[in-house]
Amino acid sequence: MSILAIVALSLFFGLLLGYAGIRFKVKGNPIVDKLDAALPQTQCGQCTYAGCRPYAEAIAKGEADINQCPPGGESTIQELADIMGVEPKPLNEEHGEHSDVPEVAFIIEDQCIGCTLCIQACPVDAIIGAAKQMHTVIADECTGCELCIPPCPVDCIIMIPRKRGIKDWKWPSPTSLDKIPVVVESVKSQQKVANG
């Protein structure tokens, strides 16, 4: 009887531990997930890694430094430093320069010969076209990584500033809300003078 009780308890706790292992399994490395979320997701390879996720994994393992991402710039370096608990460093110029003005690729369509080399180089599939036909860039999808420029045999791809729309507007915050009554009184007094 006691042997059956021990077997039953072992079976019960084994099933309980198996369920807990499946239910509460940690998916991936949470540090890598945070690092990957902080990166700009351009998948440009300027950091010498195949994309943002491999770069995040290399940072977490200590194989890469936090200052190898030109598209992210200083703000990304600061965020990566905060996650890793280290001091921020200036951008490593060997990997490229950061541009404060976001850019997108633009294909000069009358010069395009339809070779498809830029399509093959684009890591985010932002270029559309067919063989021996002109290509074009979907500006909303382009990350500005510049990987399409080197393979172009006729140099018909240039980088231009991204068009700004209403989504990009940054409204200035009010300097001080306590100045509003002063402005209202000033307007009222000007109206009294005008009305005589």
Residue pointed to by tokens 């999808």: 141
DSSP string covering 8-63: HHHHHHHHHHHHHHHHT---S-HHHHHHHHHS------TTSSSSHHHHHHHHHHTS
Neighbours of 69 (CB within 10 A): 28
pTM higher than 0.75? no
Task: Indicate the pLDDT class of residue 57, thresholds 50, 70 and 90.
Answer: very high
Domains of the chain: residue spans and CATH: 30-95 (1.10.15.40), 103-161 (3.30.70.20)
Choose among 31, 108, 58: nearest CA to 68. 58
What band does 45 get if pLDDT is binned at 50, 70 and 90? confident
| Region 120-134 average pLDDT | 90
